[in-house]
A and B are shown apart, each in its own frame.
Chain A
């Protein structure tokens, strides 16, 4: 469960690098849904997630790569994702993360909240 005092939130506040595009307080609460959203597509390892977010956002979201893993581990402890070691084509061991059914339910819930929040905020803010 993601709650307001969840340790995941306190961790993800330090995940993003300082960026002129999005200040940290604006990004707060978005990290876990992003991870779940990525894993909903397919199992991924940490470095793969970093590069995928960087590519899809055009560099607007840049993670402090080392601090990604504490959040992943916490999500795993809470049962939203699971992990397993796999061997890549280059004969390299990588730890893949997989979303669980509980994680999918949480993603759906959090995505709806974010869309509702954005719509509500758009109605209040000037063009």
Chain B
């Protein structure tokens, strides 16, 4: 108080307020009030013409005996002092652990959100690629059961494939397809990997075919190798592949009206697209049958020499004869003595075997029909998500045989409906082979929605049950966040005071009407949101199938809550300081900035919904403007807080928490869209979701 007053007032007030000294805040407030009274009286007496001495003496006399005042004041405040003493000790004991817990909690959320942002900048999301070990690990980690995980892992291991197929083939010796599949699995370690698909004939040879003599010389080398290396199926495999390549050719219709007479139709994925079906037919039946004969040798082969030391020499000998056949990729691998030169051979062999299988089915329509029915049955089983291990193995088997089925149905039965069904089943089984059952189910649902499957490698949408449950947890956390803002501010602020050797203060805690208004301001938007969500189902949607109304409602809810929280907190604090919060020009400017920023943000999202499907581009001017306005608002808010709350620096954390509160849904949204569009995050951006999936699996 700037007014000058006699020193005797201090002496008198020291006596009158002495019992309240145990509570510094009560003591200070009571003393301030009593001093104000004494000074008012003193000045009034001076104004009436009293001398300084008389005014001092009369004011003291009118005030009364200070010891009596002290006793009565203590009597009035006794219970309050005791309650505050208990509360203060409770806060001292509980604040530190609470603050640490909150800081850890907030830090974890900030870390997660920043990880998403960093990931969006530095990580390129890619579709599923079986060659990507990290991608495979992701799918293995998402497998709902151990069997499915093994199933996925098995796609990369020939040994696993043989282990899968051997007991099935032993139980069903009459099943030729199963026996053939076992032989293939034994013979082609790379079959189940994706490599062989990706280098199928990058460009087709235009050079003339090798002569019969050249072929005979090459095959004589292979036959000699069989003798010197008995039991190794490698040489028969090479012979079969060469013969199949020579005997099978793509079918190119001479005109649009020509009926496609095909032996086998190839449809396979490349990246995220599907190449158009390519029909093939046998151009040289004699060579084709010879190739089949060599392939049957694999059934009795003991092993395939994956080291293939003789292979390099073999290729060197064969190269002059076969160079006109080898495509660019094969030649390059040959030069490198790479065992991967098997890849084009493998494709040749597979195509030959599928054609042979199709011919067998053609001669046995009952078997083809049974296979088709079994395929449909397996599809239904898998769509229910409850196939056993054997059925999963059969599904894997039919992944191959369905290629043959569709060729048969297309070329012989001319049943396009069945062809489409088989194609769809093949795609689904393909996905089931590579992903897991839940993704497979999601694909079926998408297909049932009439959209058709354009990309079986996408996880869009991911399994609805899993993501919805996970996100409900995250959004439940968001709902609690608003309450934690106030509590966190109090806790952290108290720790700051404790660290700065300032005791816990009740001075700025809202109470009475202020506390009521603050509570209403905090809870009212949430109540409105809950009420609206009961009226509008779109607001209730959660998970990745979130709707724009829900997004906007979340922003409105959190923005309104934050705004009211700030306004009412500021008003409460200012009222305690004898000041009043009025919407004068600076505050009006603050409100306008807030509204303008929100309007731009919302309009941007409405006008450019594609930004929700991509990381926000820095070239987006509205984003810049929005960030600028938000930053301006934050700066003004901090400046205002510094000016008005300088006596309580801990409360500066309120705008910081408010900013965090506003950022959280934005980051979550980015995270969700990243998850939505990504099938294989190459960085572990979603540890919480991943852990959740593992736990539920």
Q: A36-85: which have CB < 8 Å to B?
A: 45-47, 51, 64-67, 69-71, 73-74, 77, 82, 84-85
Q: A1-57: which have CB < 8 Å to B?
A: 7, 10-11, 14, 45-47, 51
With A66-B34, A70-B73 in contact, do A93 and B68 touch (Cβ < 8 Å)? Answer: no
Q: How many residues of A contact B (CB 8 A)?
A: 28
* C-alpha gap A95/B512 in the complex (Å): 16
With A65-B37, A82-B513, A87-B578 in contact, do A70 and B72 touch (Cβ < 8 Å)? Answer: yes
Q: Which residues of chain B are near A70, meaning CB under 8 Å?
A: 69, 72-73, 75-76
Residue of A nearest to B80 (CB): A77
Q: Which residues of chain A are near B512, meaning CB under 8 Å?
A: 82
Q: Which residues of chain B are near A87, meaning CB under 8 Å?
A: 578-579
* C-alpha gap A53/B1 in the complex (Å): 27
Q: Indicate whether B373 reaches chain A with its CB closer than 8 angstroms.
A: no
Q: B11-45: which have CB < 8 Å to A?
A: 16, 30, 32-34, 36-37, 39-41, 44
Q: Indicate whether B380 reaches chain A with its CB closer than 8 angstroms.
A: no
Q: Is B579 a contact partner of A95 (Cβ separation < 8 A)?
A: no
Q: Indicate whether B50 reaches chain A with its CB closer than 8 angstroms.
A: no
State which of B59-67, B117-125, B149-157, B296-304 sits at the interface with chain A.
Answer: B59-67
Q: Is B72 a contact partner of A95 (Cβ separation < 8 A)?
A: no
Q: Is A73 a contact partner of B577 (Cβ separation < 8 A)?
A: no
The 0/1 profile, CB within 8 Å of A marked 1, for residues 72-113 of chain B is 110111011000000000000000000000000000000000
Q: How many residues of B contact A (CB 8 A)?
A: 36
Q: Is B575 a contact partner of A69 (Cβ separation < 8 A)?
A: no
Q: Indicate whether B617 reaches chain A with its CB closer than 8 angstroms.
A: no
Q: Indicate whether A92 reaches chain B with its CB closer than 8 angstroms.
A: yes
Q: Indicate whether B576 reaches chain A with its CB closer than 8 angstroms.
A: yes
Residue in B1, B62, B513 whose Cβ sees the most chain A Cβ within 10 Å: B62
Q: Is B75 a contact partner of A85 (Cβ separation < 8 A)?
A: no
Residue of A nearest to B34 (CB): A69
A97 to chain B, nearest CB (A): 10
Residue in B3, B75, B76, B580 whose Cβ sees the most chain A Cβ within 10 Å: B76
Cβ-neighbour of B578 out of A10, A69, A82, A85 (below 8 A): A85
- The prevalent SS among residues of B at the interface is helix
Q: Indicate whether A105 reaches chain B with its CB closer than 8 angstroms.
A: no
A91 to chain B, nearest CB (A): 8
Cβ-neighbour of B75 out of A7, A64, A91, A92 (below 8 A): A7
With A66-B68, A86-B578 in contact, do A93 and B76 touch (Cβ < 8 Å)? Answer: no
17 A–B pairs (Cβ distance < 8 Å), ordered by A: A11-B76, A45-B37, A46-B37, A47-B40, A51-B44, A64-B64, A65-B41, A65-B64, A66-B64, A66-B68, A69-B34, A70-B75, A77-B77, A87-B578, A93-B32, A94-B40, A95-B36
Q: Is B68 a contact partner of A92 (Cβ separation < 8 A)?
A: no
Q: Which residues of chain A are near B69, meaning CB under 8 Å?
A: 66-67, 69-70
A interface list, Cβ under 8 A from B = 7, 10-11, 14, 45-47, 51, 64-67, 69-71, 73-74, 77, 82, 84-87, 91-95
Cβ-neighbour of B576 out of A46, A64, A69, A85 (below 8 A): A85
Residue of A nearest to B514 (CB): A84
Q: Which residues of chain B are near A7, meaning CB under 8 Å?
A: 75-76
* C-alpha gap A66/B3 in the complex (Å): 20
* C-alpha gap A66/B72 in the complex (Å): 10
Q: Which residues of chain A are near B39, meaning CB under 8 Å?
A: 92
Q: Is B1 a contact partner of A92 (Cβ separation < 8 A)?
A: yes
Q: Is A69 a contact partner of B36 (Cβ separation < 8 A)?
A: no
Q: Which residues of chain B are near A11, meaning CB under 8 Å?
A: 72, 75-76
A71 to chain B, nearest CB (A): 7
Q: A14-B72, A93-B578 are in contact. List 10 more A-B contacts (CB 8 A).
A: A7-B76, A10-B75, A11-B76, A66-B16, A67-B64, A70-B72, A70-B73, A73-B77, A86-B578, A95-B32
* C-alpha gap A20/B79 in the complex (Å): 36
Q: Which residues of chain A are near B72, meaning CB under 8 Å?
A: 11, 14, 67, 70-71
Residue of B nearest to A47 (CB): B40
Q: Which residues of chain B are near A71, meaning CB under 8 Å?
A: 72, 76
* C-alpha gap A84/B75 in the complex (Å): 22
* C-alpha gap A16/B597 in the complex (Å): 61
Q: Which residues of chain B are near A77, meaning CB under 8 Å?
A: 76-77, 79-80
Q: Is A67 a contact partner of B33 (Cβ separation < 8 A)?
A: no
* C-alpha gap A67/B69 in the complex (Å): 5
Cβ-neighbour of A95 out of B33, B68, B73 (below 8 A): B33
A9 to chain B, nearest CB (A): 12
Q: Which residues of chain A are near B3, meaning CB under 8 Å?
A: 92
* C-alpha gap A123/B601 in the complex (Å): 78
* C-alpha gap A66/B69 in the complex (Å): 6
With A64-B64, A82-B512, A85-B575 in contact, do A73 and B73 touch (Cβ < 8 Å)? Answer: yes
Q: Considering the complex of A and B, which 4 residue pairs feature the smallest CB-CB distances, nearest first? A: A85-B578, A70-B72, A66-B64, A64-B64
With A47-B37, A93-B32 in contact, do A66 and B66 touch (Cβ < 8 Å)? Answer: yes
